[in-house]
Structure 1
Amino acid sequence: MYYSTFNYQFESKRYGYLIYNGLTRSFATLNKELHDLLILIKTDPGKIEELDSSTKISLEKAKILVTKEQEEDHFYMKRLSWYNHVFKNDTMALTIAPTSGCNFGCPYCFEQGIKSKTMDDKIIDSLIDFIKDHQPLKDLKITWYGGEPLLQPEIIKKIRKKIKQHNLPLNGEGLVTNGYLLNETNQNQIIDNHFRTLQITLDGTKKIHNQRRYLKNDKSKSTWDVIVRNIDQFLGKEHKVKVSIRCNIDQDNLSLFDELKKQLQTRWNYDKRVHIYPSVVYNYNENEQNKCNLMDLDDLAIFKLEQAQANNIDIYPSFNTRNCGLMNINSYVIGPEGELYKCWNDLGIKSKEVGSVMSPHEFNMKWMARYMAGPSMLDEKECIKCPLFFLCMGGCQYNRLENKYNNKQQPLCTYYKNHFDKFLELHYEQKLAKANVT
């Protein structure tokens, strides 16, 4: 029996001695005597004998004290969960870009410089054959992407029609759009076909949104007015489509997020179908035209803490058992020429293609292997010893490969890591407040 590798023990200036365990998500207060004894036990397991029996039993139950076998078993279960997701082959998740063209010229877009191309009938037929070639499937999910997918709604209709004709198990669709072309015809197509999700980006309140998300051919026109009016109309209809409003944030607009959220919630009468959330802007492909004032993990952690405190959001970390979709054997991004990628960030980059629907049995195994069986948190000594190991899936696999093969320094760790004591203090504060209310 010894002091768990996944304990996080510290002295809080406000709340005294606290301890967290990543195996069980246990969280407890300690008196000074027990705190000091656990510090000694960390380097000298023999000190465990100085614990009274009831305290020892409680610490063992919380896995603060464990055997080597117990920690190994938890690690193996993590690895099993990882592999189960990666090699699950009775489901398929496709992100389909009917066009790489876009009507917007957002300064941070990672697709800048990609030529505008559109799917033709030959590619569509090969796409259907590609899906059929993966039978038997129990479940097929599609996210329509781009470019701007609503530039080509007829192609979406054509693909959907063929999927239906071939009785493919389509069970859930989503659409990622800038919202400018979300006219009534396109709204009805989404509703009538029972799409599950619709993602639209608004980068802050009207003024800053228009500065960041503008039409390629007319920067002076307010895209905000058109997008919000389209959403107004869409939410005025009866349907169960979940609408995600994404706000891409950096240092220049993060202070406006709360104002945007409140403004939109009020406008849409706190419609439960609407989820408004922030998303940090990353310069994945080192786009030289990206002029955003980017945030680092420390900035993000502080932002999350402020959000949680201001809005009474429970930020206690939960177990994460899902890898990014790119690591699933049947997950692909499909470009307008039928090219296959594993990651959205690779769309349009010739060297990152893993295959084509035109040649369904020929794959670039180097990239397939790197994404699905390449370096992961399961191989990293720093990860394996981290208290957050069982709450994390190792960060962005795209970034991990960039760091390994292209000498990049992209972030991999969760924003919790460098500020974990502050997150735990806030959780403790919230628990106290809740206890006082009840």
Structure 2
Amino acid sequence: MATWSKYSFLFRKGGHHFLYSSLSNSFALLDSDTYGTLLKLRDGNQAVEIDSEVMSTLNQMQVVNVDEDMVLNQIRFISQQRKFNHESLHLTINPTLSCNFDCPYCFEASHPNSFMTDEVENNIVSFVEHKDSLKHLSIMWFGGEPLLGFRRIQSLTKRLIDIVPSYSASMISKGYLLTPDVVSCLEELKISMIQITLDGLADSHDKKRCLKSGAPTFDRIIRNISYCIENAPSVRIVIRVNIDANNMDDYLMVYDYFVSKGIKCVDVVPGFIVDREHDIPTCAFNNKQIVNFMCTLFHNHHIKPISFFPSIMRNSCSARNINSLVIGPEGELYKCWEEVGRKEYVVGNLADTSYNRELMLKYTTGIDQLDDNKCVDCGLLPICDGGCPRVRMLNKYEGRHLETCHLLKDGMDELLYCHYLSKNN
């Protein structure tokens, strides 16, 4: 006798029949007879006869006969193990909050133009040195515009690399200051990825992402990207195109631009504008709109902006982890880079040992998805880590009602069907 697991899903799309298990993250194409049989089993008919070979496959996929209490215990164990892992340290470092751009929508626009001092650099190095169990350190250079503090990046990197056995780095930059001198240093700085935002082509981009003087930036950014690809081929360039319900065509235009110019080795990804201020956003995307956008790009233009297929705990955010921190230019500590510059979200400072214990506990344990009945009861829990921790904080402690669910919640049929088509094209 077989019992259907709540982590298993049947659906039909495009004349095909499919089975997906979030527990094993496996996906299968079914014939119509097997699909009909499994529908009966799913709906509680225990009298259905299932071929032994099919039953073996169902067990391998963990579609049936699942101990769901054991699953929850395993997810909790993995989650706690990741939260309190002391062998890896992830730091998002802001060498400055200053910026050379004047973007009207920027959530950092009101931040002070402070730069990191030697004292703060020394405190960062000391902080890392005292992590006795540390085996890997990963750095995300952030700002402001981090390249305004490039010398600080160089000096800090040189010191940090000597401390840990394994070191990696990436950067989020406007791209305007990605000069030949900077590019020549990327390899020794171990910066393997740089994310650069383009808000459409030149006319649109230069209105939204101009210099403080009002001067345009698009053409120079493109030249810098081309130079970086040519002279630092090991650095992955990710182009983010911020889009909302009013400018969805900008993504396709930017994508086509790079193709038409023959600029290869660049990933062009949509940056979906998410409204953290309103429970019912006006022009920002919700999950259904994101799914529709991605699937339309695939069907109409054969573009896969991001993977249609999930990975286990793909939404896991390091903000939950005790060994993940955001460091401001004055040595102040945060859990999320959206909170940088906001005093109410400071969890500590490298200059002393004091911590905002209440806020740290909220992030590490207060918003645990396994304390949320909605998450525990959800069949997609094994591939979802409860969504964005900051959003969960806003929902639980500030009474908000923002989306936290995985994209498959609203678009399993569409996304997995696109995955199937992409694998069988």
Cross-structure match for 1:211: 207
What aligned pairs does 1:34-113 form with structure 2 within 5 A after superposition? 35=35, 38-42=38-42, 44=44, 47-54=45-52, 55-67=54-66, 69=67, 71-113=68-110
What aligned pairs does 1:336-347 form with structure 2 within 5 A after superposition? 336-347=329-340
- Work out the CA distance in 1 between the residues paired with 2:165 and 2:151: 21
Task: Give the Å deviation of 1:327.
Answer: 1.6
Matched, 1:282 2:280: no
Instruction: Name stretches of at least 5 consecutive residues in structure 2 with no aligned partner.
Output: none
Task: Give the Å deviation of 1:305.
Answer: 1.0
Going from structure 1 to structure 2, the CA distance change for 1:422 and 1:156 (only over 3 Å counts) comes to: closer
- Work out the CA distance in 2 between the residues paired with 1:238 and 1:430: 31
Cross-structure match for 2:19: 19
Query: What SS does structure 1 have at the residue aligned with 2:186?
Result: helix
Matched, 1:311 2:308: no
Matched, 1:5 2:10: no
Task: Give the Å deviation of 1:342.
Answer: 0.8
Task: Give the Å deviation of 1:153.
Answer: 1.6
Going from structure 1 to structure 2, the CA distance change for 1:11 and 1:185 (only over 3 Å counts) comes to: closer
Going from structure 1 to structure 2, the CA distance change for 1:156 and 1:264 (only over 3 Å counts) comes to: same
Equivalent AA in structure 2 for residue 157 of structure 1: Q
Task: Give the Å deviation of 1:57.
Answer: 4.2
- Work out the CA distance in 1 between the residues paired with 2:168 and 2:60: 41
Task: Give the Å deviation of 1:80.
Answer: 2.1
Going from structure 1 to structure 2, the CA distance change for 1:389 and 1:149 (only over 3 Å counts) comes to: same
Partners of 2:315 and 2:387 within 8 A in 1:
no
Going from structure 1 to structure 2, the CA distance change for 1:42 and 1:349 (only over 3 Å counts) comes to: same
- Work out the CA distance in 2 between the residues paired with 1:101 and 1:93: 23
Query: What SS does structure 2 have at the residue aligned with 1:65?
Result: coil
2:251 is aligned, of 251, 257, 271, to 257
Query: What SS does structure 1 have at the residue aligned with 2:354?
Result: strand
- Work out the CA distance in 2 between the residues paired with 1:115 and 1:283: 24
- Work out the CA distance in 2 between the residues paired with 1:48 and 1:62: 19
Partners of 1:176 and 1:199 within 8 A in 2:
yes
- Work out the CA distance in 2 between the residues paired with 1:56 and 1:74: 20
Shifted more, 421-430 versus 147-156: the winner is: 421-430
Matched, 1:411 2:403: yes
Partners of 1:334 and 1:340 within 8 A in 2:
yes
- Work out the CA distance in 2 between the residues paired with 1:64 and 1:191: 46
- Work out the CA distance in 2 between the residues paired with 1:235 and 1:426: 30
Matched, 1:394 2:394: no
Partners of 1:10 and 1:421 within 8 A in 2:
yes
Equivalent AA in structure 1 for residue 202 of structure 2: K
Instruction: Name stretches of at least 5 consecutive residues in structure 1 with no aligned partner.
Output: none
Partners of 1:99 and 1:116 within 8 A in 2:
yes
Cross-structure match for 2:375: 383
Task: Give the Å deviation of 1:114.
Answer: 1.6
Query: What SS does structure 1 have at the residue aligned with 2:106?
Result: coil
Cross-structure match for 1:227: 221
Partners of 1:85 and 1:323 within 8 A in 2:
no
TM (norm. structure 2) is: 0.90
Cross-structure match for 2:198: 202
Partners of 1:335 and 1:348 within 8 A in 2:
yes
- Work out the CA distance in 2 between the residues paired with 1:420 and 1:184: 45
Identity of aligned residues (%): 28
Matched, 1:299 2:289: yes
Query: What SS does structure 2 have at the residue aligned with 1:49?
Result: coil
Query: What SS does structure 2 have at the residue aligned with 1:332?
Result: strand
Equivalent AA in structure 1 for residue 302 of structure 2: N
TM (norm. structure 1) is: 0.87
Query: What SS does structure 1 have at the residue aligned with 2:275?
Result: coil
1:284-314 Cα deviation digits (max 9, x unpaired): 367xxxx993222111110111223332646
Equivalent AA in structure 2 for residue 363 of structure 1: Y
Partners of 2:18 and 2:27 within 8 A in 1:
no
Cross-structure match for 2:157: 160
Task: Give the Å deviation of 1:399.
Answer: 0.3
Task: Give the Å deviation of 1:340.
Answer: 0.4
1:75-94 Cα deviation digits (max 9, x unpaired): 32222221221111022111
Cross-structure match for 1:324: 317
Partners of 1:250 and 1:280 within 8 A in 2:
yes
Matched, 1:245 2:225: no
1:242-278 Cα deviation digits (max 9, x unpaired): 111111121232212122112113434423xx22211
- Work out the CA distance in 1 between the residues paired with 2:314 and 2:204: 37
